[in-house]
């Protein structure tokens, strides 16, 4: 599912206003004193973060910042027709309307950018590069650290933003070591409350507020803070990286088990999975919790509804585009045929998913596919 179920402990933390610390990337989130995020209570002398009601605002904050007084400058992003969701497309189009020159990076059949293409794209006038760490439809993990090295070699002044919405809690993130200047995260993707998110900012980045008024969060985002949301998100962030390797191994095993079952079905294909690549390398370049499967001869919405009737909930695209159904730009980007795109579903796992639940899904697919294919319009 697009939204993870909120952890009951996180709900309790939201109402208790507990002080929460996350050990990942050295970020401190508090319920009782939000401003302490920037006061170095955990040795945070070179980082800070801004909290807000979800990742959409924090992304718009950095977009607005780098569009001020920088007309005719250059922004590098993955192609709006490639691995971007609807919200990303709108922000990039906004910059284009403001006179920015936009470079759109392509991807290969597995959803990965070309580092050489990135190297050629970054120049003296490049002010911002933005990359999605984990794609939300096919689970491609981008080479963020390698990209950061290339960006800073070509232009040390270029700001590097990473969308970590699908990555947080599923892959290890160390912004300083990976050369990340800005990192956006949304709470509900790692079992935290909806309506909360944060933007990690390196001290090298000079952001300016886009909302003025009460001066909350050191003036970075005026308005009454969502204290329960911040507390719940803080605890969720802490729990997300506890026993991380154990959780990662569990998710990888679930993925292996599910793929083994899917391969036994007739006329199916796995998207963004290079079976010819080295096993370990292939695993590391795929997020462990997302599997994209195309079913020949059946439309995704029909299969989705049939599975839903059996208590199995999957998606036919990203949540960001659920209200605007169209062919997936991600699947088009990797070169998938239109017929296969129309029959593609995304299966998502979390640490609470069991093999018994996967067996239930696989059994349902075995029973439903032959029946639905008989009634599919040709």
Active site residues per annotation: 320
**362 CB-near residues (< 8 Å, 6+ apart):** 258, 261, 262, 265
Q: What is the DSSP string of 114-131?
A: PHHHHHHH--TTEEEEEE
Cβ count near 223 (within 10 Å): 14
Among residues 348, 264, 340, which one has the least CA distance to residue 299?
340
CA distance 54 to 56: 6
Residue owning tokens 């292996």: 256
Q: How many helices (H) and strands (E) does the chain have?
A: 13, 12
Which two tokens mark 207?
């952001």
CA distance 55 to 186: 5
Residue owning tokens 């309307």: 97
Instruction: Report which secondary-structure segment, H or E, holds 371.
Output: helix 355-375
| Under 8 Å between Cβ of 251 and 288 | yes
* β strands within 296-360, DSSP E: 344-348
Residue owning tokens 């599910």: 258
Which two tokens mark 189?
């993707």
Which two tokens mark 217?
């969060």
Task: Give the DSSP letter of residue 112.
Answer: P
Task: Give the DSSP letter of residue 283.
Answer: H
Which two tokens mark 192?
């935290």
| Under 8 Å between Cβ of 307 and 364 | yes
Instruction: Report which secondary-structure segment, H or E, holds 153.
Output: helix 144-154
């Amino acid at each position: 599912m697009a939204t993870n179920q909120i952890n009951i402990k996180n709900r309790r933390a939201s109402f208790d206003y507990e002080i929460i610390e996350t050990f990942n990337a050295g970020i401190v989130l508090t319920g009782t004193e939000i401003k302490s995020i920037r006061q170095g209570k955990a040795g945070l002398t070179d980082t800070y973060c801004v909290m807000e009601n979800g990742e959409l605002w924090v992304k718009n904050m950095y977009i607005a910042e780098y569009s001020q007084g920088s007309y005719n400058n250059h922004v590098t992003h993955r192609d709006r027709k490639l691995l971007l969701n609807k919200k990303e497309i709108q922000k990039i189009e906004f910059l284009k309307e403001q006179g920015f020159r936009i470079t759109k990076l392509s991807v290969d059949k597995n959803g990965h950018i070309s580092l050489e293409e990135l190297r050629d794209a970054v120049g003296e006038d490049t002010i911002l590069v933005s990359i999605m760490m984990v794609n939300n439809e096919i689970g491609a993990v981008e080479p963020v650290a390698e990209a950061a090295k290339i960006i800073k070699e070509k232009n040390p002044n270029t700001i590097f933003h990473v969308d970590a919405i699908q990555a947080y809690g599923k892959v290890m993130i160390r912004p300083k070591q990976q050369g990340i200047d800005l990192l956006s995260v949304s709470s509900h993707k790692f079992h935290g409350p909806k309506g909360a998110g944060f933007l990690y900012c390196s001290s090298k980045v000079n952001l300016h507020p886009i909302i003025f008024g009460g001066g909350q969060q050191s003036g970075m985002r005026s308005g009454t803070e969502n204290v329960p949301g911040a507390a719940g998100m803080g605890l969720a962030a802490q729990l997300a990286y506890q026993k991380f390797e154990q959780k990662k191994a569990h998710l990888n095993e679930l993925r292996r088990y599910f793929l083994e079952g899917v391969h036994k079905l007739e006329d199916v294909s796995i998207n963004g999975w290079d079976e010819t690549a080295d096993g370990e390398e292939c695993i590391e370049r795929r997020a462990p919790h997302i599997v994209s499967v195309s079913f020949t001869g059946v439309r995704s919405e029909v299969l989705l509804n049939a599975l839903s009737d059996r208590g199995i909930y999957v998606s036919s695209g990203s949540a960001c585009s659920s209200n605007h159904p169209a062919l997936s730009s991600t699947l088009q980007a990797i070169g998938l045929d239109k017929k296969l795109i129309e029959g593609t579903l995304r299966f998502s796992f979390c640490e609470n998913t069991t093999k018994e639940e996967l067996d239930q899904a696989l059994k349902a697919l075995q029973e439903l596919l032959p029946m639905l294919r008989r009634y599919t319009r040709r």
